[in-house]
Structure 1
Amino acid sequence: MAENTDGAVNGAAQPQGGAQLNLQRVYIKDASFEAPNAPHIFQQQGQPNIELNLSQRVNQLGDDVFEVVLGATVTCKVEDKTAYLAEVQQAGIFGLSGFDEGAREAILSTYCPNTLFPYARQVVSDLVQNGGFPPFLLQPINFDALYAEQLRRRAEGANQPNQGLNA
């Protein structure tokens, strides 16, 4: 029998010293729901106004292990009264090895939040519906475009002359 030297095991190709990315765990780091004007808000007539705030932070846990936390805060107001406030911090632990610094930053800023977003979306939806309000689904977010905008702003900031105070 011939010896297999191409790195295949049971017909599946195995990476040989290349970059690797793996999702180790997905979890809810924090979640909260408030309906400060209930039960009166349920009888309020008017068009709801919904505001979404997203945040992201990355914590390095080890040499090639990172925690990415995607924060989503949804505030719904009817006229000037808050109907509800739903906050979720959806987190994941990602292993990244063999990537240069630029590629690692791009993955942590785009791929990782894209992976976490459906989980955060579901938690927000469940909180809102369990709070007695009509179902609400967050619209898809283009994290690639947000990262490109962040890079553009960073480049613009680097090209700006120092605008210090003149004495």
Structure 2
Amino acid sequence: MNNNETQVALSHVNQQGEANMVDVTEKSLTSRTATAQGFIKMTPQTLALINQGENKKGDVFAVARIAGIQAAKKCSDLIPLCHPLMLSKVQVNFVIDEKLSQVKVTSLCRLTGQTGVEMEALTAVSVACLTLFDMCKAADPAMEIFGIKVLTKEGGKSGSWQAKA
């Protein structure tokens, strides 16, 4: 670490180095929102199957959207130290890029609560991408999932944050 960097304490590790669920009891209820994105690259033929609704497993985007929403709701069951949250909004969207033969998956998660929703947004994108892979793997087992990251977060003590372009 150089002189210009500050050391950030890990909130999920206690003084003894043990895993620790952060106590948010005293934190104020605030509106919190997070967005995330990820990509899945595939062959042009596989993308055409999706676009034309010809995938044998059915409506690929409808199933992946529902999977992403469900995943955000189940995040605390998947990530051990995440708090169970009462999400008020989960949205999963898809943008097809025929030129790059890929799909951009985005999510938005929102609530009024005591902790952020970044993990829920990331989980929604991850599982939506995995579902796209699952539904298309027979046609294209070499698909690649990449670029999963938080884009924005709003609310809480730390306020707003946006990923660098």
Q: Same fold judged by TM-score > 0.5?
A: no
Shorter-chain TM-score bucket reads 0.3 to 0.5
**TM-score normalised to the size of structure 1?**
0.33
**TM-score normalised to the size of structure 2?**
0.33
Return the structure number with greater strand share.
1
**Higher Rg of the two aligned structures:** 1
Of structures 1 and 2, the one scoring higher in RCO (CA 8 A, sep 6+) is 2
